[in-house]
Amino acid sequence: MIVFLDISEKFTTLLKKTFIAANNALLQRNIPPIKYHVFSGSLDELINSWKSIQPPNSKIDNFVICTPGNSLGFMNGGFDGSLVKSINGSSTKFQDYLLDKSNSYTPPGTVNKINLFEVLGNDYKNSKSWELMKIETILHCPTMIVPEEILDENMVFNCMWNIFNSTERNSNLIIPGFGTGYGSISLERAAMDMVAATILHKMEISQPLKRSLLILIYLGKQYQKLLNKEDIGTFEKVLNKSSYEEYRKFYIKSTNSWNQLFDCVKW
């Protein structure tokens, strides 16, 4: 189960709409849709209400919570700050742990795992986050070196991808909005990139090369720049050229252009 949350109702609405469109495009190709849950509210509200909103007849816990942040491990502001308060933690303890683990610097897009019992000790068992959702691990993935506008247009997508690569395929994750605060990325763009990374990473696909090609196309990268004719030919074996040219001309990162994206590949 992947739970996306944000205090911005506009952002969570965008996430829902984008996921629905993406999953509909998967279903049209007989590909199973991606399971997700979108929660509009704070982390405290999610934790306190989880037992009543989780899927019927199921007990889903043992969550890993993801958080964006800065490269120095300061966790006093933004989602980091609310996370520390929700788990009855200490920002100083987390900062010391991260600085020690990363040798004082975590490049943006890199994932650091934080075991909450290792940082907070057995006292953490008394927290609601452990009692109600069994949150044991934080994945700290900086989107920026210091709080500032994010200029790397693929940062949100890459952070999401690295988070998924750092966890088991069926891990239960809590993921807040990435890049929408200090990073100043538009809500529309952040929602699109977060959903795209989730869909492209988790979707069932027959050939890894097709996944690679869809990623390149989504990110607006030209496979022809690989230069090697054999590499280019390998991609072109699974490419629908006419749909690809149309997508590049009209649809790159357009909201809900999933059918046009998936049409670029031979299924």
pLDDT tens per residue across span 85-94: 888 888 889 9
What does pLDDT average to over the chain?
93
Cβ–Cβ under 8 Å, residues 73 and 95: yes
Q: What is the pLDDT of residue 136?
A: 94
Q: What is the pLDDT of residue 191?
A: 96
What residue ranges define each of the domains in the chain, with the CATH number in brackets? 2-202 (3.40.220.10), 208-262 (no CATH)
pLDDT tens per residue across span 223-240: 999 989 999 999 999 999
pLDDT of 57 higher than 70: no
Q: Identify the band that residue 213 occupies on the pLDDT scale cut at 50, 70 and 90.
A: very high
Most confident option among 27-36, 51-60, 227-236: 27-36
pLDDT of 55 higher than 80: no
Which helix (H) or strand (E) segment holds residue 45: the answer is: helix 43-53
pLDDT of 200 higher than 80: yes
Q: Which residues of 84-104 are buried (b: 16+ CB within 10 A; e: fewer)?
A: bebbebebeebbebbeeebee
pLDDT of 59 higher than 80: no
Q: What is the pLDDT of residue 121?
A: 94
Q: What is the mean pLDDT of residues 33-41?
A: 96
Q: Identify the band that residue 53 occupies on the pLDDT scale cut at 50, 70 and 90.
A: confident
pLDDT of 253 higher than 70: no
Dihedral (Cα; 160, 154, 19, 43), 10-degree rounding: 50
Q: Which of 54-63, 191-200, 207-216, 233-242 has the lowest mean pLDDT?
A: 54-63
What is the distance between the alpha carbons of residues 79 and 86, in angstroms, rounded to a whole number? 10
pLDDT of 180 higher than 80: yes
| Token pair belonging to 156 | 């949100």
